[in-house]
Amino acid sequence: MKIFILTLLFSANICFSNYSSPGTGVSWNLDSLVNNSSGNVTFSGGIYFVNDTITFSAGDTLKILNNSELRFGTSVFMDFFGVMIIDPTDSVKITAQDTVTKFLGLKFEDQSDGSRLRKLIFEYGNSIRMLDCDLLIDSCIIRYNTLNSSFASGAVSLFRSNSVISNCRIFRNRRSAITSGANIPSSPLILNNIIYENNTENANVPQINFGATGTGQMVIRGNVITGLFNNSGGIAFLPIGSIADLVIENNIIRQNRYGIAILGGPANVYINNNIIDSNNIQGSPSLGGSGINFSGSSNLISTVTRNKIRGNLWGITIQNTAKPNMGDLTSPDTADIGLNEIYGNGNSGKIFDLFNNTPDSIKAENNYWGTDNLDSVEAHIFHKPDSSALGYVDFIPIRITTHISQNQVKLSDLNFELYDAYPNPFNPETTIKFRIPENGSASEVYSMKIYNIGGRLMSVLFNKRFQAGNYSLRFNAADLPSGIYIYTLSSGVKNISKKIVLLK
């Protein structure tokens, strides 16, 4: 099978602005910018118009702390060598004066550390671009940035940047939602974002697209990544020039061309506790459709544990000299424990939960393969028994589980059952169903609680006794912000949890 990733290289841009701040350590707001920029920024009808490119010199700061709207002219951008702080009560909108011709965006350069963008709506431009600086981008909406320009390719583009991108909604942009170059070391933290339907151009790129990482560890955690365009993957890495150090965990990755692709040069990757579901939208098994694809060098060190991988054209595919570890109970590394659920993946009428297309032996112990019958697991794995040119997959022991279907979870003693909420994602209501069994104690108290992704208790839906039977309730999240939440059904000493996504 073939999987491709865009190798993004940044070129230097020589930009000439009509107005530059003096670099005297002044803190600016939009009104002082209007008063001093000689018409390059104007104000009319409650809206600020940025009519030509503005440069903020090192030492100067632009603060936008009130709800505001800025409309940028065609080919205009703000270039920050100083600091930009956006932190309004509700929102600041940066949009285009002409949504057809659009504008370029925001560029932050090597002395912009400390800039932070919060509650920003950024639309109808090209990119938020960071070069040799670290920003905070939090609780922002980044959408409809479809201008094709050499300014940048991704809606959020990093160049040697370790920025934090958290709690944002990033959707319907021209190429990747978040990107850096294959040979550009960047190690951002990408946390708790809702990323969907990017790559409107339908190019051969993923929604999160990276290569080499920096001196720190890159973390992609708690995101929901959902596709629409059939050439668009979920997450892909093609490191060139340095070892990528990467954690991908607690994400929901669904309905993309593929889920996660780790390609190219050496990498140290920990893939933990993700739901990788139905990444099959292109429909061609020769071009993609893997839940996880490893296609790299032999010193690529990958640990895959606690993931649910289901409904993809291929579950996990291993190519070239990659040798990921999916469970080794003899290893002293306590992360090498398997516990993946890999089932329901296949194409052309065949099951392909794990495809080892290499001559090397692969460890995949202590995983659940959709069956508790040891003899049946062999049919889920393609390896040496299927082709003498391939290495073995060591899948014994298997994990015995009480999961009986793709959308149902049970406690090990069948004490009660909790089902997937529907719809999910939802806005603002979803239905949660559960079952109290006949063998349950009539005196037992059950509770259902809602937590945010950080573990903070948001709501208690009930705390009471139930008779045996099936139950459903409506959860209304109108008062909560968009994000990932956990709903937990608990009895005296046992509990079970599932994720829901509020998408407003």
CATH code, domain with 497: 2.60.40.2550
Residue 148 placed within a domain: yes
Could you tell me the residue range of the domain that residue 128 belongs to? 17-152
Query: How would residue 13 be classed by pLDDT, with cut points 50, 70 and 90?
Result: very low
Mean pLDDT to the nearest integer, 179-200? 93
Do the Cβ atoms of 56 and 64 come closer than 8 Å? no
**Number of independent structural domains in the chain:** 2
Residue 493 is predicted with a pLDDT of: 54
Of 36-50, 106-120, 208-222, 414-428, give the lowest mean pLDDT range: 414-428
Say whether pLDDT at 224 is over 60: yes
Mean pLDDT to the nearest integer, 27-48? 96
Domain final residue pick, 98, 131, 152: 152
Residue 331 is predicted with a pLDDT of: 82
- How far is Cα of residue 183 from the mean position of the Cα atoms in its chain? 21
Residue 304 placed within a domain: no
Q: pLDDT, tens digit, for every residue of 196-209?
A: 999 999 999 999 99
Residue 401 is predicted with a pLDDT of: 65
Residue 181 placed within a domain: no
Q: pLDDT, tens digit, for every residue of 399-435?
A: 876 443 334 433 333 457 888 888 888 899 999 999 8
Residue 340 placed within a domain: no
- Distance CA(121)–CA(168), nearest Å, equals 10
Q: pLDDT, tens digit, for every residue of 362-405?
A: 999 999 999 888 778 999 999 999 999 999 999 989 887 644 33
Residue 428 is predicted with a pLDDT of: 92
- The DSSP code for 373 is -
Query: How would residue 299 be classed by pLDDT, with cut points 50, 70 and 90?
Result: low
pTM: 0.79
- The DSSP code for 378 is G
- How far is Cα of residue 139 from the mean position of the Cα atoms in its chain? 15
Residue 25 placed within a domain: yes
Do the Cβ atoms of 157 and 185 come closer than 8 Å? no
Say whether pLDDT at 485 is over 90: no
Query: How would residue 476 be classed by pLDDT, with cut points 50, 70 and 90?
Result: very high
pLDDT above 90 covers a percentage of the chain that reads 68
Q: What is the token pair recorded at 120?
A: 């920003």
Number of H helices, E strands in the chain: 2, 50
Domain final residue pick, 152, 183, 216: 152
Domain final residue pick, 134, 152, 170: 152
β-pair partners for 245: 268
Residue 288 placed within a domain: no
Most confident segment among 39-48, 213-222, 480-489:
39-48
Query: How would residue 336 be classed by pLDDT, with cut points 50, 70 and 90?
Result: confident
Residue 438 is predicted with a pLDDT of: 67
Residue 330 placed within a domain: no
Do the Cβ atoms of 29 and 206 come closer than 8 Å? no
| First-residue to last-residue Cα distance in the chain | 37
Residue 40 placed within a domain: yes
